[in-house]
Amino acid sequence: MNSPMKTHDVAALAKGVRDGGRRALARAITLVESGRADHRADALALLDTLGTDRQALRIGLSGTPGVGKSTFIESFGLMLTGMGKRVAVLAVDPSSARSGGSILGDKTRMDHLARDPNAFIRPSPSQTQLGGVARRSREAVALCEAAGFDVVLIETVGVGQSETVVAQMADLFVLLLAPAGGDELQGVKRGIMEMADLILVNKADGDLKSQAMRTCADYAGALRLLRKRPQDPEGFPKAMTVSALETDGITAAWDEMQALISWRRKAGMWDATRAAQARYWFTEEVQQGLLQMLRDDPQTEARMKTAQADVAAGVMSPAAAAAQVLGPLRKGQV
């Protein structure tokens, strides 16, 4: 059944989001995530109506499966709501490459935080989108800001070193790691290490505490080998140990985040970073829009099918077939 969302509902929906209504925010996120053309028009109208006058602290969080992301987010989120802050969690779950389905189990793993009146948790399917985030995560973040949340946590899929797109929509990028030996350090590649503002070695409790301390020291040493970034004060990026289970080190990690953001605001890095991110997403939208236009063009679709058959049969190479399909576009024939 199609969604009952209508164009004339946009103003009322915008008011509901502005007033901090959880149901309105959930409906708004569903709208921006929809792939229907009429819903997309309503989504753009909604985002335009809400504007960008409210800003939250956006924190991207990545880490491999099993590192304790959900436990950390719940402990961290409860600490923030205990301070009187409103916290939104946008958790991206991996989608099946075959069915497109997703478990969307993050809300059940954060049971206490989900019941907190000052928290909002929204799981979304990645829909095979690369980069660890969903296609419309950035717009969902904007909706949470419009709803008056103070902190927005963006939890990525957690599949590896490609998860750097979240850094293009966050003010802080936190990499959560588990205690491990030297081989684990080799597994965290330079790309995601360079993106991280803070590396938190989780599970620093019980029998793993000493190992977590050693792992933290290893990462701290690795960070010192990286070239200093202009958006960082002295001492950043840095590695710390935390125990999400025992809530140890969580407050200290928040203090470090606050110190870094305060420095960036005073240095003008906050506004510069957000402007650069806006340019990035503009380019991304144009590219995605062009791809959709190609998919919607009957002539291009027919050439694609013919070329795909030739490639599958070994008649043409993929590169030559792609050049053949794109040739008329370069000549302005489409």
d(CA 255, CA 250): 9
Cα dihedral 291, 153, 26, 141 in deg (nearest 10) = -50
- The answer to whether residues 131 and 166 touch, using CB atoms and an 8 Å cutoff, is yes
Share of the chain above pLDDT 90, in %: 53
Instruction: Report the chain's mean pLDDT, rounded to a whole number.
Output: 84
- Where residue 191 falls among pLDDT bands split at 50, 70, 90? low
DSSP tag of 179: -
Rounded Cα distance, 287 and 331, in Å: 19
* DSSP 8-state secondary structure symbol assigned to residue 7: G
| DSSP line for 67-89 | S-HHHHHHHHHHHHHHTT--EEE
Q: Note the pLDDT of residue 100.
A: 40
The per-residue pLDDT for 182 is: 46
* pLDDT on residue 1: 42
- In the numeric block, which tokens belong to residue 243? 């125990």
pLDDT band at 126 (very low <50, low <70, confident <90, very high): low
- Nearest one of 218, 258, 198 to 61, comparing CA atoms: 198
Residue 81 has pLDDT above 90, yes or no: yes
Q: How confident is the model at residue 129 (pLDDT cuts 50, 70, 90)?
A: very low
Examine the pLDDT at 63 and tell me if it is beyond 90.
Answer: no
Interval 278-292 mean pLDDT: 87
Q: If you average pLDDT over residues 201-225, what whole number do you get?
A: 91
Quickly tell me which residue has 């997403």 as its tokens. Answer: 281
Q: What is the pLDDT of residue 229?
A: 81
Closest CA to 308 of 293, 296, 325: 325
**pTM higher than 0.75:** yes
pLDDT at 284: 86
**The tokens of 27 are what?**
């409906």
- Indicate whether 193 pLDDT > 70: yes
What does the pLDDT look like over 144-179, one tens digit per residue? Answer: 999 999 999 998 865 444 456 788 889 999 999 989
Task: Count Cβ atoms within 10 A of the Cβ of residue 288 and give its class: 0-12 exposed, 13-18 middle, 19 or more buried.
Answer: exposed
Residue 127 is classified by DSSP as T
Angle at 37 between CA 28 and CA 289, to 5 degrees: 100
Q: How far from chain centre, in Å, is Cα 333?
A: 38
d(CA 32, CA 130): 18
Strand order in the sheet with 119-125: 119-125, 87-93, 151-155, 57-62, 172-177, 198-201, 238-241
User: Whose CA is closest to 240, among 175, 195, 192?
Assistant: 175
pLDDT value, residue 137: 84
Residue 86: what pLDDT? 97
The C-alpha angle 304, 307, 309, rounded to 5 degrees, equals 110
